[in-house]
């Protein structure tokens, strides 16, 4: 389990890493106990990104080599059909009847899937998530059937734990990953992932299809909210934190699960912005901006990888042996299981047209490096692969290779010792401690983008109009992957969490709040009534944004906020009262027409079930906002770019089209921070380091957290360099008048880039270091 470490200067003494705490944690876990999340005031005052990253790169145990003799013995006893069964992954409907809470095991179906075909893995829900007890019934029956089989190989169950155990009823839901990235706090990501792992394993589910390490560089993409933002380094740090939180130091531990890196690779950058649509990414760009997150997570020991559902440069992910074998296996050294995505081997025929029939598609994908097929709703993969091996078109050695990896994972997870491991752990789903951790995370994610004339925080004596389609529902706070796939089933949500409206009423009293919905997501409703109410209010909290969606159903053609919401905004702004625009959305919808009329803008992302309370905390000053954008917020729908773009012609004299609505890394506070005395010192020779230090001071009257961001650029290079790249960050807590000397260390790798030959190179030249508006340069020879 990783820790937090940092460098600091002489101005303020700082604590040492808490090694004793980690020893206690490990001893408690080994004894079968549980660990409550740290209290909010126990959060470290500084989180240095690189030290955190290095401390969490050690893979979780147990080492697969430990089980090699047992795996080889078992493999030697298996028939060809049994081996192919292990490579087969079926959805839950193949062994059950019913839907939602009425789902139940069908013994005949179960026997066919596990008893006859020997399916190695099962996944998913039938529409709704289940309680831990209901999961125990379903999975217990599956494992009991496996126990009756000749070799008694346990079944591996997987689920999408995306922002907490979102398919385990009663579990703790955190902000969606994009919101977690906005905290710029890897400790919070680690803590949230630990809680998610424990509550998932409590349901006897040992495998999560998470994290999404796709770079979120296409704002239209409907899965942007599942990513960790547009920046490679931020995504790397937060991705490793997620893997470490899920897997801990030992994935057989009943509080941890195996992670799955997805969707390898390039899935998130479709040319059209549509889900599962083609991407065109030059290899140099792929290696520069998309591969590093996966490389770091592989080094951190991630157990499994899921393949890109679409295609890159005309080659479908499930047919791309170069990326799956040469790059992933040979270059990155990945040793775990490669899983297909939903029905994607079949899609090689009817979507990608690289195979004439499913049999050929099966051969192509298995030979390209896919170890397990998420078939998921028939037995075609098993039947066709058996034929292919018998015909000599797929060698038995390739089957053995895949099954060896699958069996090793099951041994590492402890499933051979206890296929229900985790059901008896001491975790309490949705405990007060876990809910507080989720509220802390939501509070640190919410990003204050505008605060004209100090409109915020609002006085608790103010009379407030709350309006907008997202004001009185948990659905936009959570978005997709929340109790159901699309997250849009209101009846599935718990009743003991506050919407934004309910949280504001609780905060200042219902008598001080007027509520008018004003509009539906894309339909006008009672906007005139809202405008009239605005005239008699002291302030307006305008809750706009998106409704819930996941994957392809979330495709849109335009990022502009729906017209009904824009009209509502214009009408309430006409009252000339302070308007606080609160955005709950999974991607940045264009707000250019209304942002000028807003006194304040809060980007809340999808903050989870605790998001209503967290938003109210910030609106009324109980929490000082500290979130920073993990994406570039666009001003125009047809002018989308990331912060690390190349220089536009004419950008030296910025034009309105080249200026985003809000910059990557931006975010305001209720206090003021100043930066001074930036020092950059190259050290030593050979593989030398560059020391960077800066003083940061809280000049305001209240405590606050600031994200110190270090950007680097090379002025001239053989491949045109981006304007700047994030290389380090640290989140620091400063009391009024307090200052810290924050120090970072850069290395040769930080100066490198992917050159014209698609290899990482370092070239001599002049480099600029930017921190907090300050700039210093150094020469690298």
Would you name the residues annotated as active-site residues?
341
Alpha carbon of 695 to those of 186, 625, 737, 744, 770: distances in Å?
Answer: 22, 21, 12, 12, 13
Reduced 3-state DSSP string for 582-650? EEECCCCCECHHHHCCCCEEEEEECCCCCHHHHHHHHHCCCCCCCCCCCCCECCCCCCCCCCCCCCCCC
Pairwise CA distance, residues 244 & 230, whole Å: 21
CB 87 within 8 A of CB 372: yes
Task: Please name the residue ranges forming H helices in 162-275.
Answer: 177-182, 186-201, 232-247
Query: What spatial distance separates the first Cα and last Cα of the chain, rounded to whole Å?
Result: 38
Beta strands at 373-374 and 337-339: parallel, antiparallel or unpaired: unpaired
Percent of residues in the chain assigned helix, strand, coil, to nearest 5: 35, 20, 45
Place of tokens 């004596």: 461
Please report the sign of the dihedral spanned by the C-alpha atoms of residue 505, residue 511, residue 513, residue 517.
Answer: positive
Pairwise CA distance, residues 777 & 781, whole Å: 13
Pairwise CA distance, residues 734 & 8, whole Å: 13
* Phi, psi of 178, deg, nearest 5: -60, -40
Alpha carbon of 294 to those of 112, 230, 593: distances in Å?
Answer: 37, 14, 38
Please name every residue paired with 679 in a beta bridge, in sequence order, or none if there are none: 693
What does DSSP assign to residue 554? G
Pairwise CA distance, residues 698 & 701, whole Å: 8
The CB density around residue 77, as the number of other CB atoms within 10 Å, is 10
């Amino acid at each position: 389990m990783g820790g937090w470490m940092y460098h600091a200067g002489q101005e303020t003494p700082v604590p040492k890493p808490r090694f004793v705490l980690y020893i206690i944690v490990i001893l408690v876990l080994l004894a079968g106990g549980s660990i409550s999340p740290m209290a909010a005031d126990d959060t470290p005052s500084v989180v240095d990104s690189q030290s955190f990253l290095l401390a969490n790169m050690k893979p979780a145990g147990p080492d697969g080599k430990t089980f090699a003799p047992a795996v080889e013995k078992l493999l030697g006893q298996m028939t060809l059909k049994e081996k192919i069964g292990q490579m087969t992954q079926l959805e839950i409907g193949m062994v059950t009847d019913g839907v939602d809470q009425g789902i139940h095991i069908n013994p005949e179906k179960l026997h066919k899937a596990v008893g006859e075909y020997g399916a190695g893995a099962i996944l998913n829900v039938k529409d709704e998530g289940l309680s831990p007890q209901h999961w125990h019934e379903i999975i217990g029956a599956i494992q009991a059937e496996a126990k009756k089989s000749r070799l008694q190989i346990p079944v591996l169950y997987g689920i999408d734990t995306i922002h907490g155990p979102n398919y385990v009823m009663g579990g703790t839901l955190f902000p969606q990953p994009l919101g977690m990235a906005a905290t710029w706090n890897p400790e919070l990501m680690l803590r949230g992932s630990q809680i998610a792992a424990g509550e998932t394993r409590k349901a006897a589910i040992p495998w999560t299809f998470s994290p999404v390490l796709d770079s979120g560089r296409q704002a239209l993409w409907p899965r942007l909210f599942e990513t960790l933002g547009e920046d490679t380094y931020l995504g790397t740090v937060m991705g490793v934190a997620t893997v470490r939180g899920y897997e801990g130091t030992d994935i057989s531990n009943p509080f941890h699960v195996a992670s799955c890196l997805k969707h390898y690779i390039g899935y998130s950058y479709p040319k059209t912005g549509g889900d599962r649509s083609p991407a065109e990414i030059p290899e140099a760009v792929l290696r520069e901006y998309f591969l590093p997150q996966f490389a770091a997570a592989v080094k951190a020991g991630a157990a499994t990888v899921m393949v890109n559902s679409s295609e890159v440069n005309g080659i479908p992910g499930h047919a791309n042996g170069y990326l799956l074998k040469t790059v992933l296996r040979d270059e990155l050294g990945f040793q775990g299981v490669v899983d297909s995505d939903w029905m994607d081997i079949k899609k090689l025929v009817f979507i990608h047209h690289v195979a004439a029939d499913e049999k050929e598609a099966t051969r192509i994908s298995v030979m390209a490096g896919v170890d397990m097929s998420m078939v998921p709703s028939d037995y075609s993969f098993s039947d066709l692969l058996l034929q292919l091996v018998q015909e000599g078109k797929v060698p038995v050695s390739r089957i053995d290779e895949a099954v060896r990896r699958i069996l090793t994972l099951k041994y590492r997870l402890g499933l051979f010792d206890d296929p229900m491991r985790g059901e008896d752990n001491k975790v309490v789903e949705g405990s007060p401690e876990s809910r507080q951790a989720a509220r802390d995370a939501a509070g640190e994610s919410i990003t204050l983008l505008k605060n004209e004339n100090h409109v915020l925080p609002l006085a608790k004596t103010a009379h407030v109009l709350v309006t907008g389609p997202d004001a009185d529902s948990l659905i936009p706070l959570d978005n997709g992957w929340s109790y159901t796939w699309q997250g849009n089933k209101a009846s599935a949500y718990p009743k003991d969490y506050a919407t934004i409206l309910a949280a504001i009423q609780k905060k200042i009293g219902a008598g001080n709040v007027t509520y008018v919905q004003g509009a539906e997501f894309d339909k006008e409703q009672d906007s005139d009534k809202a405008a009239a109410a605005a005239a008699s209010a002291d302030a307006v909290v305008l809750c706009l944004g998106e409704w819930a969606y996941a994957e392809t159903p979330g495709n849109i053609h335009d990022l502009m906020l729906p017209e009904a919401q824009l009209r509502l905004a214009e009408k309430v702004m006409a009252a000339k009262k302070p308007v606080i625009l609160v955005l709950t959305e999974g991607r940045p919808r264009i707000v250019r027409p209304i942002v000028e009329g807003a006194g304040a803008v809060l980007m809340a992302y999808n903050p989870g079930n605790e998001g209503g309370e967290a938003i109210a905390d910030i609106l009324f000053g109980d929490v000082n906002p500290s979130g920073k954008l993990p994406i570039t917020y666009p001003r125009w729908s047809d002018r989308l770019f990331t912060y690390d773009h190349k220089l536009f012609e004419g950008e030296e004299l910025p034009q309105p089209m080249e200026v985003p609505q809000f910059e990557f890394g931006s975010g305001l506070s209720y206090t003021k921070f100043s930066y001074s005395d930036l020092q950059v010192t190259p050290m030593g020779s050979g593989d030398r380091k560059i020391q960077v230090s800066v003083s940061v001071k809280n000049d305001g009257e209240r405590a606050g957290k600031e994200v110190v961001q270090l950007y680097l650029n090379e002025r001239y290079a053989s491949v045109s360099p981006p304007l700047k790249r994030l290389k380090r960050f640290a989140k620091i807590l400063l009391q009024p008048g307090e200052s810290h000397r924050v120090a970072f260390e850069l290395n040769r790798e930080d100066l490198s880039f992917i050159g014209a030959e698609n290899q990482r190179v370092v070239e001599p030249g002049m480099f600029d270091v930017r921190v907090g508006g300050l700039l210093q340069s150094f020469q690298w020879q």
